[in-house]
Amino acid sequence: MRTYLIQAFTIVLTIMSCRQTQEKLPLLGEPTVSQRVVKGKKVYDSIYPVVPSFSFTDQDSLTVNEKTFAGKAYIADFIFLSCPSICPKMTAEMKKVYDHFSTDERVSFLSHTIDPERDSIPRLKAFTVSLGLDDKKWKFVTGNQDSIYLLAERGYFSTAYRDSTAPGGYLHSGGLLLIDKNRHIRGVYDGTNPKETGRLINDINILLKEPS
pLDDT value for 14: 38
Return d(Cα 142, Cα 124) in angstroms, integer.
Answer: 9
For 124-168, how does the pLDDT look when each residue is reduced to its tens digit (9 = 90+)? 999 999 999 999 999 999 999 999 999 999 999 998 888 888 888
**What pLDDT sits at residue 5?**
32
**Residues 120, 107, 50, 177: what is their CA dihedral angle, to the nearest 10 degrees?**
-70
Please report how the helices 194-208 and 87-100 are oriented relative to each other, as an axis angle in degrees rounded to 10: 40
User: What are the residue ranges in the chain where pLDDT is below 50?
Assistant: 1-22
What pLDDT score was predicted for residue 172?
86
Question: What pLDDT is recorded for position 4?
Answer: 35
What is the reported pLDDT for 20?
45
3-class state of residue 38 by DSSP: strand
Predicted confidence at residue 170, as pLDDT, reads 85
Predicted local distance difference test score (pLDDT) of residue 36: 78
From CA 113, how far away is CA 211, in angstroms rounded? 33
Spatial neighbors of 81 by CB under 8 A, at least 6 apart, are 87, 113, 115, 118, 119, 123, 124, 127
